[in-house]
Amino acid sequence: MWRLTKIELFKIFRKPRTYIAFVAIAAIVFLVQLAFYLDGEKYMGFMMASVESAFTIEGNMVNGYFVFFIILQTLLVHVPLLISLVAGDIIAGEANMGTLRLLVGKPVSRTNIILSKFWSTCIYTILLLTFMAILGLLGSMLLFGTSDLLILKTDKLLLINRYDVLWRYAAAYGFAALSMITVAALAFLFSVFAENSIGPIIAAMSVIIVSTILSTMDIPFFNAIKPYLFTNHMLNWKGFFDRPVDKPEVLKSALFLVAHITLFLSLSIYVFRKKDILS
């Protein structure tokens, strides 16, 4: 299996499109950091305007932890698109190129082909998130220093001690990895059905956009279906930045995502094993 996964990773990282996601993330992180570097105090002033009369907050509020929190909030909405670019292409792209028939005609089981492609997609996803974490967190810590993390929620203002922040980011990173692998698994499933990459990428993004809209709209009818939307659970990485952390809720969401990954992957294997390769 590792032999096949290495081949898949080699193919992924030889494709120029693979690096689009890394360049995009680097650009967004750099721009957000630049904006905070030049105008961070003004942003903080605007954010705190409503509570300024009740609180006096002193210290370095525009610090590395805070900047990375803003980056995470921005990026984790858009990263699914970047992940779909690779996950949606991984089988459909081969069908489009005509190389899928070469692959399936080799003495390797179809299940192993699918699993190796899925593992390599997961590794790509984790590498992308790690890149984002290194650039976003370490870069921001170097540029802005460290201090307590101030989080403004709809109903409260939360101040997390600087020594209590890093484990939360580590946990949120793990949860984000699970969320993004769920997105990858969905795009991967669509990829099994298609013979060009555009279809699965658009289909995966459409599902995520529609589900995210449903998750964020506060309408009673939508509220009833929200618990069943995996996109709703994907946002629960923020749960690690509550005090105390609602562990059962975060665990429930994590299990929900794992169940979706298992479902999408099992369906992919089932369909691919039955599929006639006509490309």
Partner 1 sequence: MPVIIQTSNLSKKFTEVMAVDDLSFSVQSGEVYGFLGQNGAGKSTTIRMLLTLIRPSTGSIKLFGKDLQGHRNEILQKTGAIIEKPDLYSYLTALQNISIMAKLSGIYLTQKQLIQQLERVGIGERAKSKVKTFSQGMKQRLGIACALINNPELIILDEPSNGLDPQGIADVRNLILHLSKNEGKTIFVSSHLLNEMELIADSMLIIDKGKKLAEDKVKDLLNPADTLVEIDTTNNEITKLALQQSQWSQFLRPSEGIILKMHRQEIPGLTKFLVEQNIQVLAIRPKHSLEDYFLSLTTANQHVAAYEN
* Interaction site with partner 1 (CB under 8 A): 3-4, 7, 10-11, 14-16, 97-99, 101-109, 274, 276-278
Residue with tokens 């429930």: 252
Query: How far apart are alpha carbons 121 and 162 in whole angstroms?
Result: 34
* Shortest distance in whole angstroms from residue 179 CB to partner 1: 30
Residue placing its CB nearer to partner 1 in the complex, 107 or 244: 107
Residue placing its CB nearer to partner 1 in the complex, 154 or 274: 274
Provide the 3-class DSSP secondary structure of residue 195: coil
Residue placing its CB nearer to partner 1 in the complex, 155 or 276: 276
Residue placing its CB nearer to partner 1 in the complex, 107 or 248: 107
Residue placing its CB nearer to partner 1 in the complex, 94 or 148: 94
* Shortest distance in whole angstroms from residue 117 CB to partner 1: 13
Give phi and psi for 149, each to the nearest 5.
-95, 125
Residue placing its CB nearer to partner 1 in the complex, 14 or 49: 14
* Shortest distance in whole angstroms from residue 4 CB to partner 1: 8
* Shortest distance in whole angstroms from residue 103 CB to partner 1: 7
* Shortest distance in whole angstroms from residue 72 CB to partner 1: 33
Sequence-ordered alpha helix ranges (H) in the chain: 2-14, 18-48, 64-87, 92-97, 100-104, 110-133, 139-144, 166-193, 198-216, 220-225, 230-234, 247-274
Query: How far apart are alpha carbons 94 and 91 in whole angstroms?
Result: 5
Among 239, 255, 75, CA closest to 153:
239
- DSSP-assigned letters across all residues of 42-68: HHHHHHHTTTTTT----S--S-HHHHH
Query: How far apart are alpha carbons 86 and 15 in whole angstroms?
Result: 10
* Shortest distance in whole angstroms from residue 145 CB to partner 1: 43
Q: Greatest CA span in the chain, whole angstroms?
A: 71
